A and B are shown apart, each in its own frame.
Chain A
């Protein structure tokens, strides 16, 4: 095998980037839990129990005997799995304490209040797309800038710095890198965030990072604040950008369903849930068993790692009797695990939903004739990173109809 490796739990079928690989369905159909080899620049290739069924996924993601942060070690080089402040490296009460310092910024009410700002950002990117003209790359002009501008505004990170932090986020999520590259990349991320934290320490800004420094700065170290900032910045733009690109690419290949998103405001929220279920862009981080326990009577030994395939769990018939391998934006929303489950379920999920609900209908209303500018099989999908996405998505439209 040459070429970049994909994570086995996120493997997609050849030529069908939205479909789980056949091996994942085979694992799901088998009553026995299997161990798989997981490539990881930070941990080295490791063996892990692969969880592929929906009920098992919910059960293990909500099980406190499975721990995150098993690589935290102040004496080892700093990596994403060894970074204080990052919520994905904490468990139990410690995790809850940190999460509650941040969760006020992402409530349903708070996110509703952000809607006008999000609409403004989307409008500015639609104007930019119009100006770029047919043939423009939707990833560059629309999908990446929108969540980046929104998270910059929310956190208080200068949008002008995007080239640097976007590149570092891409490297951080790339499985096909070395440990040394990851250590160097995180050092750059930390150095950047340290300057922002230092300025908030001096004079807390009127934004989320400033608020955390103001309210909790006395009980957090600079290292913890840097980890919090890095986590919010990466998680805040990378996954939503992927969903915008992957969702748009998928709808452009399913015009009847695109019409629902475009023409039926009442159906938009349900349609976005279906896109989230179907695209499942993010992977969950590995967990490690703190003690020996059983899943459906099968032993998971103390110290073993466990990985969950959100991608195939979202297609499990335990979720719904319907055909879950077919996109159906009119489906009665099902309780997918795209945002994870349990105490670590995505902190920013309501913000992500709001961005998707505003941006996708607005895109298709502004450009009713929007179409792929390349044959569908030539769309360049990113299938080997921790987050699935689209690298380039050239689109075209008829200018007369875009008013």
Chain B
């Protein structure tokens, strides 16, 4: 199953959960900590960490979709 990650940058509050949970997929901008999506289609091995990142995000700024487009 492939996974597509989308971020809603204006919502981001720079709490850092995503960059801590899945550093291969998410980073933070140096100047304001806002999320940087490094890999919008992460490999299967990262899916668990990406789900954790999305669940922890306090601003619901991360949306995950499978290939079919459903959440």
Contacts from A to B (Cβ < 8 Å): 61-62, 96, 99-101, 103-104, 106-111, 335, 339-347, 349-350
Contacts and interface: CB of A to CB of B under 8 A. Distances in A.
A107 B58 CA distance: 15
Q: Which of B13, B29, B33 has the most CB of A within 10 A?
A: B33
A100 B30 CA distance: 11
Nearest to A353: B20
Main SS of the interface on chain B? loop
B30 A342 contact: no
Nearest to A100: B32
Given A104-B32, A107-B30, A109-B19, A99 B14 contact: yes
Contacts of A96: 10, 13
A19 B49 CA distance: 32
B17 to A, nearest CB: 9
Nearest to B10: A96
Q: Which of A61, A104, A346 has the most CB of B within 10 A?
A: A104
B63 to A, nearest CB: 15
Given A340-B58, A345-B58, A100 B15 contact: no
Given A62-B58, A108-B28, A349 B15 contact: yes
A344 B15 CA distance: 9
The contact size tier of chain B is 20 to 34
Contact of B33 (A106, A340, A346): A106
B58 A350 contact: no
Contacts of B60: 62
B50 to A, nearest CB: 15
Contacts of A99: 13-14
B16 interface: yes
Contacts of B28: 107-109
B30 A108 contact: no
B64 interface: no
Contacts of B23: 108
B38 interface: no
Q: Which of A107, A335, A340, A342 has the most CB of B within 10 A?
A: A107
Contacts of A100: 14, 32-34
Contacts of B58: 61-62, 340-343, 345
A62 B60 CA distance: 9
Contacts of B15: 339, 345-346, 349-350
Contacts of A345: 13, 15, 58-59
Contacts of A103: 13-14, 32-34
B19 A104 contact: no
Nearest to A61: B58
A62 B58 CA distance: 8
Contacts of B30: 104, 107, 109-110
Interface string B1-25: 0000000001001111001100100
A239 to B, nearest CB: 16
A343 B19 contact: no
6 contacts: A62-B60, A103-B32, A104-B30, A108-B19, A342-B58, A346-B15
B15 to A, nearest CB: 5
B16 A108 contact: yes
A100 B23 CA distance: 21
B58 to A, nearest CB: 4
A343 B16 CA distance: 12
A389 B14 CA distance: 27
Nearest to A341: B58
B4 to A, nearest CB: 23
A62 B14 CA distance: 15
B42 to A, nearest CB: 18
Contact of A335 (B14, B27, B32, B55): B55
Contacts of B20: 108, 350
Nearest to A337: B58
A101 B29 CA distance: 12
